[in-house]
Amino acid sequence: MTHHDSDTRVIEPDAEAYNATLVRRVDLTDDLAYFWVKFDGAPTPFESGQYMTTGVVTDGKLLQRPYSVASAPSVAGTEGYEFFVRHVPILRFTTALWRLEVGHRMRMIGPKGKFMLEPDDDRTHLYVSTGTGIAPFISMVRETMAHRKPRRTILLNGCSFAPELGYRAELEAWQADPAYRLTYIPTISRPNDPRNVGWTGRVGRAEQVVADVCRDLGLRPDRTVVYICGNPEMILNVERVLMDRDFPEFHVKKELYWPKGKSPTG
């Protein structure tokens, strides 16, 4: 069940505070949803892997948070910018966002971030993520396909519960299409939870599964580049596993979803 802060009220500020609109929303679970935000005017160019900061005025204050863009840069002008967001009750921005109706005005600035694909990198790409950390990788796959330049990609995404696996149907369809050159590997960490009844896929946290993935798929350190996105502890653990398998540190790129030692903020 979604929780709300009783003192959070979305109000209409001066028109200058907003430059974008919430144009679409699709709920995955009670506390996970996809949001599309579109600029009023021309879209701001960005690279897959970068993030935008979105905001809404609540109780006279602008609440805003950065989120990786899941949509491809090539559709920013038509569909807007897609974000995969978890509702965190202690984070007032997500409470305000959950209350917005489609059509509500928002503020968006950016892009920022250096977590981007190297141009013309023909190595195998291993993407490792947990939860909403999958978002930048969805953008990367979408954009490389839009340019008809897919790279051999293995996408490992870990969640506690199967219903929380974002973009699952889309990823399974991509995997079934040879043109995408994609191997999708979802894994869940709580197999005994009732929400995972019927799950027949891999079990374990992403850092527990990544070594088996490298072995099973024959991923060689000299021919593989690794991108990791999610919570910092997972990233550190995956890095240790990869180093033990002789992956050079400069073959591993990472995006922390919140600073090490701090609590998650969405």
The closest alpha carbon to 217, from 252, 174, 184, belongs to 184
pLDDT value, residue 123: 96
Give whole-number Cα distances, 92 to 50, 63, 87, 88, 263, in Å: 23, 7, 9, 8, 14
More confident residue, 163 or 3: 163
Give all domains of the chain, ordered by start, each with its CATH number. 15-112 (2.40.30.10), 124-256 (3.40.50.80)
The mean pLDDT value for 23-28 works out to 98
Q: What is the helix (H) or strand (E) element at residue 252, kind and residue range?
A: strand 252-256
State the Cα–Cα distance between residues 156 and 184, nearest whole angstrom: 6
Q: And the tokens for 210? A: 């990544």
CA 127, 129, 131, 136 torsion-angle sign: negative
| Residue pLDDT, tens place only, 44-69 | 999 999 999 999 988 888 999 999 99
Residues 83, 22: Cα–Cα separation, whole Å: 11
Cα separations (Å) of 197 from 3, 102, 163?
25, 34, 11
For residue 98, give the amino acid letter: W
CA atoms within 13 A on the CB side of 223: 9
pLDDT computed for residue 255 by the predictor:
85
Distance in angstroms between the alpha carbons of the first and the last residue of the chain: 17
CA dist., res. 91 & res. 63, Å (int): 10
CB atoms within 10 A of CB 248: 11
Q: Are 69 and 81 in contact (CB under 8 A)?
A: yes
Q: How confident is the model at residue 143 (pLDDT cuts 50, 70, 90)?
A: very high
Element (H, E) at 239: helix 232-244
Q: Which amino acid is at 120?
A: D
Q: What is the pLDDT of residues 65-93, one digit of tens each?
A: 999 999 999 999 999 999 999 999 877 89
Tell which wins on pLDDT, 13 or 33.
33
Dump pLDDT digits (tens) for 196-227: 999 999 999 999 999 999 999 999 999 999 99
For position 16, what pLDDT does the model report?
66
Phi, psi of 67 (to 5 degrees): -140, 135
Look at residues 226, 241, 237, 235 and name the one whose alpha carbon lies nearest to residue 259. Answer: 235
Nearest in space to 85 (alpha carbons), one of 47, 52, 109: 52
